[in-house]
Structure 1
Amino acid sequence: MTPPVQLESARLFDTVAGSGVRGSTGLTAAWDVDALATGAVAAFADAVVALLREAGTEASAAVDAALVGAWFRQALTPVGWSLPSPWDPIAGDYRAADGWIRLHTNAPRHRAAALRVLDAPADRDAVAARVAAWAADDLEAAVVEAGGAAATMRTAEAWTAHPQGAAARREPLVDRLHTVPAQTRWHPDPTRPLAGVRVLDLTRVIAGPVATRALAALGATVLRVDPPDWDEPAVAPDMTLGKLPARLDARTPEGRERLGDLLAGADVLVHGYRRGALEPIGLGEEARQEIRPGIVEVALTAYGWHGPWTGRRGFDSLVQMSAGVAERGMRLAGADRPVPLPVQALDHATGWLMAAAAVAGLRDRLRGGSGSRALLSLARTAAELVPAEPGEPTEPTAPALPEGERRETPWGPAAVLPFPVDVGGVAARFDTGPAPLGSAAPSWPA
């Protein structure tokens, strides 16, 4: 059976849902994570096939579900060393006076906001004691107002009735529009379809980096740009595969000028900024089109592009709480606390859909010469989750996987799993990385 997300993506991208899925991801939960994950990756495969066919190369693709399940965890496995925890000690689920709430404190400013609202020291027990005195919705609102990130645990029914839940559900899975004609010419290589494509990556953590990692695997030059003070040691080795990770400070005149120059040389822009957020540095929507006419732009937000929470800070684990994902997991497991999905599936699925949108945009530019803009959100992706078929609880299975490719990294040796998409004749590989954030120059290679 063709995954629903693959079918919907084919309609939105004007592709054929022809990429077959082999096997199972082994991802079991209260929700059908398998269908979401394989559908998103198959949508990317379909987009690559459509690009090649537009260029005159007959192609077909297959998706290895076992590898999809593994890539939704991590594509790179350390050999003889360990990654640090992805979570700040304060981050997590807390019992409030009337339910559960999750605090996301990985970013220092988000941590400071939560502690300031709670008037608590940086101690988990002290935070728990303060949270217990708050109504969950009141604390959620206070933390968000203070510049932090938090989410009350809601039921799926409550989220559907919530103004933001309803607004997100009304949006297309991928909201696409065509922009002005491009001024560049490019033709896909049958073996490395995205060779010669420059991707400016202004995303962080998981969803956006998943997208640009997939583009890098097919030959794109991906320049990731982070601010000077940003670090994410738990995911950087995995998420910088195939990329050139640079830094610049867009708050300075020199940094803004440099970022504009990078944009002028890009074919694809991938970012996670809400509408209007780039205006203060001179890179609003109109300016971006003037600087690089016909650019293929793919943008992500957490809770959607319309509704009262447009622009609210959010992450996969928070959207799972808001949208009823964690509540249903708790209820079906008979647990006494929220039970999220076994992987951050909203991030990963959205990332693959973003990659599909970028490839579809390049196909459209090849076909008609115009650029495009695609808008996605974690909340809209969550709406594609359907309840898993009821049955006896089972332990997650671990399908047999091929041995990963060994490579040396700045952190130590590692194994990188094969790419989960097999397009006949296409060599999927990472020519660079992984590399520490800021290790590359903020410029396009010659």
Structure 2
Amino acid sequence: MARELLNELMTIAGEEPAGADVEISGSDPVFPLAWPVGEAGAAAIAASAVAAARLWQLRSGQSQQVRVEVDAAAAAMRGDRYLVRHTPSTETEPSPRTIRGTRGDIYQAKGGRWVYLHRGFAHHRARIAGVLGGANDEQSLEAAVNKWDALELEDAVHAAGACAGMVRPYGEWADHEQGRAVARCRCSKSNASATARRSHFLRAIGRCPGSASST
């Protein structure tokens, strides 16, 4: 799966498929999720690494090996979940959940639906707290969200200029206006000016010290 995803990314970027110099080890599931997030993350990291390796080869004539581990890629996407920190005013350490709450989390609303609150920026946290009556820690957020209808809370947070999203099953998301908009979009596209910039860039690096290319 990861190799297929990698080659799909390379094709979208207009590049040749990755060769034997790229190794992706491991497989999903890394986390108990419906989507292969570990392999998708590994493919994205590998695609960036392949691009860097090919650029280096253009400049130096030297090839490089690319190796990516699926479980490490998955862990990298959850890095904030594994943070602990010491504070000068206390000997205790906040739990990972306490730290996660300052970034964003999913909370259960009235009626059993769930809402994601993005709290990664101070102004977002402040605006969400304003909507939720001052709630600004895990316990008060859970209690406050539980009093709201999920869709009404999503709309209220958006109206306040912050970010939230009601969790939707696949079919419901596909029928939503944003789901339909995403379905119409291409993951990547190129145009003549982008191609020209790329050609200019390749010519420029060909003149860099250490380049193996010549004109």
TM above 0.5: yes
- Give 3-state SS (helix, strand or coil) of 1:93's partner: strand
Residue 124 of structure 1 deviates from its aligned partner by: 4.3
Q: Which residue of 2 aligns with 1:8?
A: 8
Q: Which residue of 1 aligns with 2:208?
A: none
C-alpha change, 1:94 and 1:72, in structure 2 (3 Å) is: closer
Select the residue among 100, 103, 117 that pairs with 1:87: 100
* Alignment check: 8 A CA contact 1:6 1:43 kept: yes
* Alignment check: 8 A CA contact 1:90 1:122 kept: no
Q: Which amino acid aligns with 2:25?
A: G
**Structure 2 residue 188 is matched with structure 1 residue 174:** yes
Select the residue among 89, 110, 119 that pairs with 2:124: 110
* Alignment check: 8 A CA contact 1:37 1:68 kept: yes
Residue 50 of structure 1 deviates from its aligned partner by: 3.2
* Alignment check: 8 A CA contact 2:46 2:68 kept: no
C-alpha change, 1:23 and 1:90, in structure 2 (3 Å) is: closer
Structure 1 residues 125-164: aligned runs within 5 Å? 125-164=139-178
Distance 1:4 1:71 in 2: 21
**Structure 2 residue 175 is matched with structure 1 residue 367:** no
C-alpha change, 1:5 and 1:22, in structure 2 (3 Å) is: closer
Q: Name the % identity.
A: 24
Select the residue among 70, 73, 81 that pairs with 1:68: 73
Q: TM-score, normalised by structure 1?
A: 0.36
* Alignment check: 8 A CA contact 2:135 2:144 kept: no
Unmatched tracts of structure 2, length 5 or more: 88-92, 205-215
Residue 69 of structure 1 deviates from its aligned partner by: 4.1
- Structure possessing the higher relative contact order (Cα contacts under 8 Å, 6 or more residues apart): 1
Residue 367 of structure 1 deviates from its aligned partner by: 3.4
* Alignment check: 8 A CA contact 1:16 1:46 kept: no
* Alignment check: 8 A CA contact 1:103 1:151 kept: yes
Q: Which residue of 1 aligns with 2:31?
A: 28
Distance 1:123 1:173 in 2: 36
Residue 35 of structure 1 deviates from its aligned partner by: 2.3
C-alpha change, 1:136 and 1:81, in structure 2 (3 Å) is: closer
Q: TM-score, normalised by structure 2?
A: 0.68
* Alignment check: 8 A CA contact 1:53 1:59 kept: yes
- Give 3-state SS (helix, strand or coil) of 1:17's partner: coil
Q: Which has the higher strand share?
A: 1
Q: Which residue of 1 aligns with 2:44?
A: 40
How big is the alpha-carbon RMSD for the aligned residues of Structure 1 and Structure 2?
3.7
Distance 1:175 1:365 in 2: 19
Residue 121 of structure 1 deviates from its aligned partner by: 4.3
* Alignment check: 8 A CA contact 1:10 1:43 kept: yes
Q: Which has the higher helix share?
A: 2
Residue 54 of structure 1 deviates from its aligned partner by: 4.1
Unmatched tracts of structure 1, length 5 or more: 183-293, 295-360, 370-446
Residue 12 of structure 1 deviates from its aligned partner by: 2.2
Q: Which amino acid aligns with 1:51?
A: L
- Give 3-state SS (helix, strand or coil) of 2:106's partner: strand
Residue 165 of structure 1 deviates from its aligned partner by: 1.6
C-alpha change, 1:61 and 1:171, in structure 2 (3 Å) is: farther
